Amino acid sequence: MLDIFSIPLPALFGQLLLGLINGAFYAMLSLGLAVIFGMLNVINFTHGAQYMLGAFAAWLLLTNLSIPFWASLVLAPLIVGLFGVLIERLLLKRIYHLDHLYGFLLTFGLSLVIEGLFQWKWGSSGAPYPSPIAGGYNLGFMFLPAYRGFVVLAALVVCLATWYGIERTRLGAYLRAATENPTLVQAFGINVPRLITLTYGLGVGLAALAGVLAAPIQQVSALMGTNLVLVVFAVVVIGGMGSIMGSIVTGFGLGLIEGFTKVVYPPASNTVIFVVMAIVLLVKPAGLFGQTK
């Protein structure tokens, strides 16, 4: 453990920042996954593909219509969210009465189709997306690229806004009530099917937004969400899907742990989240923030 102290501070903080950025994506994705699961009882495997679609939408808007990043930040999640609404109306709606397994398989199949089509059309090597904010700040102990700082802040704001929307507003109250007891809420005159569609669109939009934010940092490629969604599953198992705040905290926390591992013992950085998952399963099988059902 003494090794940590021989690591130059800029390297340590640099990795922690990267970890924080990854954590921001984990948080946004696991948040959407949790909200969707709560309402639809479907684990949305397409989440990684929808994250990729967000990045691609931004890239296509920029290269074809010269629409800048800031407009894409709103437009891309809307487009992908609408696409999600279409999926929900056409496919998911018909399988709610079945075992969870089928939703998982259906969305897995959809992700294969979407990612396969994009890979077929644009190949698997990535396309660069120019960073919308140039430059950075020298903080003394490290150099902070301005855009990366913005990503962390933006993700934090989006996560907290989602939390606020679900836990503190009237629509959020309907949503939570419908998660608990859809029949009763329907009887009170609230259009539950529409609420479900809206929820799916919202979750998908969040994934797409994460994708837009990721575009300038990573390459825009057909497979950028493939591995990510698997890690996010582990994040969801660790946090448990019971609480919105839990998803946010777990996402950022695991990103930091991953970044820290990159400094201390790089070969384990890919696997550390899965190791954490194994430990959590041993100690608290329901997840850190989950209730045992």
Partner 1 sequence: MTSQRTLIAALLIVLALVAPLVAYPVFLMTALCFALFACAFNLLLGYAGLMSFGHAMFFGMGGYFFGYVVKTMGLAPEIGLLAGVGGAALLGLVTGALAIRRQGIYFAMITLAFAQMVYFICVQAPFTGGEDGLQGIPRRALLGGLLPIDSDRTLYYVVLVLFLFGFGLIYRVIHSPFGQVLKAIRDNEQRAVSLGYEADRYKLLAFVLSASLAGLAGSMKALVLQFATLTDVSAGVSGEVVLMALVGGLGTIFGPVIGAFIIVAMQNYLAFTGEFVLVIQGAIFVVIVMAFRKGLLGEFSDWWKRRRAG
Interacting residue ranges for partner 1, rule: CB under 8 A: 43, 91, 94-95, 98, 100-102, 104-106, 108-117, 119-120, 124, 226-227, 230-231, 233-234, 236-237, 267, 270-271, 274-275, 277-278, 281-282, 285-286
Minimum distance, C-beta of residue 37 to partner 1, in the bound complex (Å): 8
Q: Bridge-partner residues for 180, per DSSP?
A: none
Which structure tokens are listed for 17? Answer: 């920042």
DSSP H or E run through 136: strand 136-138
State the Cα–Cα distance between residues 43 and 37, nearest whole angstrom: 6
Instruction: Kindly tell me which of 46 and 72 has the beta carbon lying closer to partner 1.
Output: 46
State the Cα–Cα distance between residues 289 and 274, nearest whole angstrom: 17
In this structure, what are the phi and psi dihedrals at residue 126, rounded to the nearest 5 degrees? -80, 160
Minimum distance, C-beta of residue 247 to partner 1, in the bound complex (Å): 14
Q: Bridge-partner residues for 138, per DSSP?
A: 143
- Asked if 285 contacts 238 with a C-beta cutoff of 8 angstroms, the reply is no
Instruction: Kindly tell me which of 99 and 164 has the beta carbon lying closer to partner 1.
Output: 99
Minimum distance, C-beta of residue 215 to partner 1, in the bound complex (Å): 21
- Asked if 116 contacts 109 with a C-beta cutoff of 8 angstroms, the reply is no
Length of the chain: 293
Instruction: Kindly tell me which of 60 and 280 has the beta carbon lying closer to partner 1.
Output: 280
Amino acid letter for position 261: T
> How many other CB atoms sit within 10 Å of the CB of residue 292?
9
Q: Bridge-partner residues for 136, per DSSP?
A: 145
Structure-token match 């948080």, residue found: 27
Minimum distance, C-beta of residue 269 to partner 1, in the bound complex (Å): 9
Instruction: Kindly tell me which of 105 and 156 has the beta carbon lying closer to partner 1.
Output: 105
Instruction: Kindly tell me which of 29 and 213 has the beta carbon lying closer to partner 1.
Output: 29
Instruction: Kindly tell me which of 44 and 72 has the beta carbon lying closer to partner 1.
Output: 44
Minimum distance, C-beta of residue 195 to partner 1, in the bound complex (Å): 22
Minimum distance, C-beta of residue 154 to partner 1, in the bound complex (Å): 27
